Amino acid sequence: MLSWVAMACLCGGFGMLTLLSAVDLKTRLLPNEMVLGFATLGIVFHLTTLAQFVEPIDIFVGFSVGFASLYGLRLIANRLYKTDALGLGDVKLMGAGGIWLGSEGILLAMAIGAVAGMVHGIGHAFYESNVNGTKFNLSRLQIPAGPGFAVGIIIVAMYLFRDFNPLG
C-alpha cells in the first residue's frame, strides 16, 4: 500500500515541477505554496519508501546544501549584476529539490539545471533575434531559472529512483 503512496508522490512531484515551470515562465514567480507542496511530497515519498533512496540525514543535508548554495550564488549574482539575478523562489525550489535528492543529487541537479537554463536562454535569444530582426545578444537576456532547475531535478530523480517499483 505504501509503495502506491510513494508512486503517487513521485508522479505528483514531477507534475508539480512541470506546473512550477509553467508558472515561472509566465509570471517569473515560483509560488511558496507550490514549492512547499513539492517539498512535502518529497518528505512523504521518503517516509513511505523508508528512506530507501536517500539516507535520513542526507535529506536534511540536501535541503541545506540546495538552499544555502543557491542563496550564496544569489547574493554574489545580485551584487555583481546590481539587480535580482535569482529570485528567492529559485532558492526555495533547490532546497525542496535537496529534500528529494540529497546533497550530492541536488548539486548535480543544479549543474544540469544551469546547463538547461543556458540552452533555453541561447534558444530564446536566437528566437528573439530572428523574430524581431535584431542582433543576437545575450548580455541583457533575462529568463526564469526555475524551469532549468526543474529539468535538472527531474533528470537526477529519474536516475536516483530508477529502481523504484511499486509492484514489488
Angle at 91 between CA 108 and CA 78, to 5 degrees: 105
Residue 134 — pLDDT band, cuts 50, 70, 90?
A: confident
Between 107 and 127, the higher pLDDT residue? 107
* pLDDT for the residue numbered 88: 97
User: What are the percentages of helix, strand and coil residues in the chain, rounded to 5?
Assistant: 75, 0, 25
Residue 139 — pLDDT band, cuts 50, 70, 90?
A: confident
* pLDDT for the residue numbered 136: 81
* pLDDT for the residue numbered 60: 98
* pLDDT for the residue numbered 115: 98
What is the residue-averaged pLDDT of the chain? 96
Does pLDDT of 126 surpass 70? yes
Q: Helices 88-132 and 2-27: crossing angle, nearest 10°?
A: 50
End-to-end CA distance of the chain: 10
* pLDDT for the residue numbered 45: 98
Q: If you average pLDDT over residues 3-19, what whole number do you get?
A: 98
Tell me the one-letter amino acid at 143.
I
- 111 neighbors 53 (Cβ within 8 angstroms): no
Residue 1 — pLDDT band, cuts 50, 70, 90?
A: low
